[in-house]
Structure 1
Amino acid sequence: MSDKYSNKTVIYLIGLVCYITNMFLNYSMFKYTSGILLAKFTLFPIIILCLFYKILFIDKVSLKELIFYLLFVGIAVIVSIKSGNRQILTLSLLIISSKNINFRYILLTFLIIVPLLLFITFLFSQANIIPNLQYFRVREGELKIRNSYGMIYPTIFAAYLQYIVIGYSYFMRKNSLSHITFIILSILCFFICLYMADARMSAYSIVLYLFIFYFCSLFFRNIGQYKILSTLTVFIFPLFFCAIYFLSAKYDPSSSILETINSALSGRLRLAHSALETYDIPLLGQEIKFVGLGGAVQDMGEDYNYVDSSFLQFLLSYGTIFSIFSTLLMMVITWKRIKLSDYRFLAIIIILSFNSMIEDRLLDISVNIYWLLALAYYNNTRIKHD
C-alpha cells in the first residue's frame, strides 16, 4: 500500500468515524446530556476538514465528475435548507469523498465503531448514567417491555443490531467459520431484538435476511452473466418504493386486504396515508414536523403522525427531485455490483429496499453504509464463489 493511498484512506476514515459517531449520538440519550454540544462542536469541524481536504487536495476530478459533483451538492444544499435536515449535505460530501476508497476498510470501520458505540451506550444505560427508556404494550394478553438501552427508542437499538448482521455478511471471509459466526450473530441479535427490545420488525427482518442471503448464494452466484436477470435486479429498489407509495395512497380501512397489511405493519399504512393526504409532495423539500415517541416514555397522543417509511419520508420531506436522484443512485450502485456477480449485495439491496418500506433509516450512514458504494470500490473483479 502506497503512502498516498494510505493517507487518503486514513483521512477519509477519520471523517467517517466522526460522522458515524455524530449520527449515533443523535439517536441516543446522550443527545440530552450536557456534553453533547461540546461533542458535536468537536466532531463536525473534523468531518468537514477531512472530507474537503480529500476532495480538494487528494482526489483528481475530471470535468464530467466536477459537473456531477456540483449538481449533486447543489441539490443537497437546497433540500437541506428547505427540509431543515443538514445531514443531507454532509452525506453528499461523504459519498463524493469516498472516491477510490476501498469499501472493505469502510465496512470494517462500520463494524468496529457501531458495535462499540452500541455497547458503550448499553453499559451507560445499565449504570443509569443515561436513561434506559422502557415502553410497555399489551400484545395477545401479555405485557411486553420494550427496552431502548440508551437509544431514544427500542426500534433504533434493534435497527443497529440488524445492520451489524447485514454488514458482517458482506464483510465475512469465504470459510465455514465465518458462516457459523454469521448464523450465531444473527440468532443472538434476533433474540435481543425480539425479547429484550420487543422490536418485532427488526427481529423478523434478521430471519428474513438469513433466508435471502443463502437463497442468493445458492441460486445467483453468477447473476452477472445473465443480462436480462441482471437488468431486472436494478429495479428492486424503485419497485419497493412504488409498492409502499401505492399501498399507502390507496389505503382504505374498509378494504380487508389493506387493513390486514396495515395491522401487520403496526398501523404504518394508516399513518402514511394520513401524511399523504395532509401534505403535498414538494419538488425540492419542505420542513415537516413528524411527531413520534422517541426520547421520552409517553403515550401515543393525537398529534402522533410519524411516518416510518424512508421512501415516503424522502417524498414528503425531501421532494420529488431528491427521491428520483437517490433512487437512480441506488440503481447505479446495484448495477455496478450485479455486473460483478455480487450476490451478497443482491441480498442486501433486497432487504434494504424492504426495510425502507417500514423503517426510517435509509438516509443514515451510521446504519446504511451502502450509499458509499457509489464511488468506493469493493472487490472490483468478478466475485469469487464462497
Structure 2
Amino acid sequence: MKIKIKLSELLYFSAFFIWLFFNFIAQTNLIHKYPEIYRLRIIAMIVSILILVVKLVLEKHTKGFLLFYFLALILAIIIGISTHKLFDGVTIISTILLIVSVHKMNFRRILIFWSISIFLFMLFVFVFLKLGMLENTLRLQLGGRLRYSQGYQYVSLGANYLFHLTLVYLYLRKSEIKFLEMFILAAINYYFYVHTDTKSAFFLSVVALILVFLFKNRVINRKILIITGEIVLTAGMLIPIFLTYLYNPNSSFFQTLNTALTGRLSLGNKTLSLYGVDIFGQRIDWELQQRATSVFDNYLYVDSSFVNILLHYGIVLLVLIWLSYYLLIKAGYFNTIEMLIFIVLIIHSMFDPQFFELMYNPLLLLIGVSWSPDRYKYKESSID
C-alpha cells in the first residue's frame, strides 16, 4: 500500500511523536536512572510547539481558522500562566496546539499513528522489564493488595495505556474486528489486571469489548444515539463534580461511596477546599508520594478527569471541552461503535485522570475536529 504524506502532515506527526515519546518515557522507571528525562520532556514539548507553529505558517488558512487558532493559543497561554509552573504551562500550550492543528489532518491516520507509537513504547517497556533493565516496583496497599508497576512509575499507568489503546483499536476497527483480535485484547488486559490490580481499566476494557461484539453488526437509531451521547457526556462531567462538592465525611452514604472510589471524593473535596475554582485555572501542588499502605495519608491528587480539569485548568476550558464534544454528538459525527467507545471513555474519565492527557487519550483531538467545517471530509478518508 502506497502512503502519501504532505509536508504539513509530516510536521504534525513529528511534533506529535516527539511529544508522545518524551511524555511516555517520563512515566516509566527509566526516570529513576535518568532523572534528566524530566528536563528533556519540557524541551521536547517546546520543540513540538515550534514545529506546530512552522506547520501553521506553511499552510494556507481562512481568516476564520486563523482567528480560532490564535484565540485558542491566547487561552492556552492564559491558562499556562495561571498555573505558575513551567511544566504545566508548556503542557497545556502544547496540548491545545496539537488539538487545533488537526485542522485538515486525516483523523484516522492520527489515531493509527498514536496506536502504533504507544504499542511500540509499551513493547519497549515490556522487553526492558523482562531483561531486568527496568524495575518492577511492588506496592502494598490497603487491604493487602499487591500491585506491580510493570516498569512504569506508578502501578496503574501501564493498565491505563492499554485501556485507551484498546478503545482506540476498537474505534478504528469497528465492525471489521475479528473475535481473535478481541480475545487477544482481553488477554493482554487481563495480564495487566492480574499484575497491577487496576480494576477500572480492566473492567471497562471488558465492557467495551462486549459492547463492540454485540453491536458491531447493528445500528442504533440516530436520534437515540445522539440523545444518549448528550446525556452521558453531560452527566459524566457533572456527577463527579457535584459528588466532590457535596461530599460529607459524616454521611454514611458518602463514606461508603468514598471507600468504593478509594478516597477519590475526600481527596477531591480536600483539594476543592484548599484551592477553590478559578476561571482560567491555578497552580496546584500535587503530593504524589503516598504511603505504601493507603491512598488517604500524605497524598493529594484528584483522579476524576473533569474535577481535575476544573480545579487545575479552570471553568472556561472545561466548558469548551463539553461544548466541543456536544457539537460533535449533535451533528451526528459518531456512528454506533464510535459512540459506544466514547461513552465508555467518559465513564472511565469520571473517576480516572487521563481524559485530558494526550499520551493516553488521542480522542481528545476530536475537540479540534469539532470546530472544523470539514470534520467529515477528514474522518474516514482512506490512506492511498
Opposite residue 68 of structure 1, the aligned amino acid is F
2:138 aligned with 1:134, yes or no?
A: yes
Q: Contact 1:126–1:132 (CA<8 Å) still a contact in 2?
A: no
Report which stretch shifted further, 197-206 or 247-256: 247-256
In structure 2, do the counterparts of structure 1 residues 341 and 128 end up closer, same or farther at CA, with 3 Å as the change threshold? closer
Post-superposition Cα deviations, 1:166-201, rounded to whole Å, max 9, x if no partner, equal: 1110112643xx331442133213312321111112
CA distance in 2, matches of 1:332, 1:182: 32
Q: Helix, strand or coil: the match of 2:277?
A: coil
In structure 2, do the counterparts of structure 1 residues 166 and 181 end up closer, same or farther at CA, with 3 Å as the change threshold? farther
Give the equivalent residue in structure 1 for 2:24.
Answer: 24
Give the equivalent residue in structure 2 for 1:62.
Answer: 62
Report which stretch shifted further, 104-113 or 259-268: 259-268
Q: Helix, strand or coil: the match of 2:103?
A: coil
Q: Contact 1:23–1:364 (CA<8 Å) still a contact in 2?
A: no
- Superposed CA RMSD: 3.0
2:305 aligned with 1:310, yes or no?
A: yes
CA distance in 1, matches of 2:215, 2:175: 15
Report which stretch shifted further, 318-327 or 246-255: 246-255
Give me the identity figure in percent: 23
2:349 aligned with 1:356, yes or no?
A: yes
CA distance in 1, matches of 2:174, 2:217: 17
Q: Contact 1:189–1:203 (CA<8 Å) still a contact in 2?
A: no
Opposite residue 162 of structure 1, the aligned amino acid is F
Give the equivalent residue in structure 2 for 1:151.
Answer: 152
Q: Helix, strand or coil: the match of 2:178?
A: helix
2:248 aligned with 1:260, yes or no?
A: no
State the 1:297 CA deviation. 6.2
Q: Contact 1:212–1:347 (CA<8 Å) still a contact in 2?
A: yes
State the 1:122 CA deviation. 2.6
Q: Contact 1:133–1:297 (CA<8 Å) still a contact in 2?
A: no
CA distance in 2, matches of 1:129, 1:328: 45
> Which structure 2 residues correspond to residues 243-258 of structure 1 after superposition, within 5 A?
243-258=239-254
Report which stretch shifted further, 3-12 or 62-71: 3-12
TM-score in terms of structure 2 length = 0.86
State the 1:341 CA deviation. 5.0
CA distance in 1, matches of 2:25, 2:367: 26
CA distance in 1, matches of 2:5, 2:127: 37
CA distance in 2, matches of 1:379, 1:160: 28
Q: Contact 1:158–1:197 (CA<8 Å) still a contact in 2?
A: yes
2:105 aligned with 1:101, yes or no?
A: yes
In structure 2, do the counterparts of structure 1 residues 231 and 164 end up closer, same or farther at CA, with 3 Å as the change threshold? same
Give the equivalent residue in structure 1 for 2:284.
Answer: 288
Give the equivalent residue in structure 2 for 1:372.
Answer: 365
Q: Helix, strand or coil: the match of 1:172?
A: helix
CA distance in 2, matches of 1:189, 1:64: 45
State the 1:367 CA deviation. 0.8
Q: Helix, strand or coil: the match of 2:135?
A: coil
Opposite residue 52 of structure 1, the aligned amino acid is V
State the 1:232 CA deviation. 4.9
CA distance in 2, matches of 1:329, 1:211: 28
CA distance in 2, matches of 1:136, 1:91: 34
Give the equivalent residue in structure 1 for 2:320.
Answer: 325
Give the equivalent residue in structure 2 for 1:170.
Answer: 171
In structure 2, do the counterparts of structure 1 residues 41 and 290 end up closer, same or farther at CA, with 3 Å as the change threshold? closer
Report which stretch shifted further, 239-248 or 126-135: 126-135
CA distance in 2, matches of 1:378, 1:187: 32
State the 1:378 CA deviation. 7.6
CA distance in 2, matches of 1:272, 1:127: 39
In structure 2, do the counterparts of structure 1 residues 37 and 292 end up closer, same or farther at CA, with 3 Å as the change threshold? closer
> Which structure 2 residues correspond to residues 185-334 of structure 1 after superposition, within 5 A?
185-214=184-213, 217=216, 221-224=219-222, 226=223, 229-293=225-289, 300=295, 302-334=297-329
In structure 2, do the counterparts of structure 1 residues 333 and 341 end up closer, same or farther at CA, with 3 Å as the change threshold? closer
Aligned residue-pair number: 372
CA distance in 1, matches of 2:217, 2:252: 37
In structure 2, do the counterparts of structure 1 residues 4 and 380 end up closer, same or farther at CA, with 3 Å as the change threshold? closer
TM-score in terms of structure 1 length = 0.86
Q: Contact 1:314–1:322 (CA<8 Å) still a contact in 2?
A: yes
Give the equivalent residue in structure 1 for 2:161.
Answer: 160
Q: Contact 1:94–1:372 (CA<8 Å) still a contact in 2?
A: yes
Opposite residue 205 of structure 1, the aligned amino acid is L
CA distance in 2, matches of 1:358, 1:154: 16
**Unpaired segments of 5 or more residues in structure 2?**
none
Give the equivalent residue in structure 2 for 1:343.
Answer: 336
**Unpaired segments of 5 or more residues in structure 1?**
none
Q: Contact 2:263–2:295 (CA<8 Å) still a contact in 1?
A: no
CA distance in 1, matches of 2:228, 2:168: 24
State the 1:272 CA deviation. 1.5
State the 1:38 CA deviation. 7.5
State the 1:277 CA deviation. 2.4
State the 1:217 CA deviation. 4.2
Post-superposition Cα deviations, 1:49-77, rounded to whole Å, max 9, x if no partner, equal: 4312221112x222222222222111111
Correspondent of 1:122 among 118, 123, 126: 126
Q: Contact 2:77–2:93 (CA<8 Å) still a contact in 1?
A: yes
Q: Helix, strand or coil: the match of 1:76?
A: helix
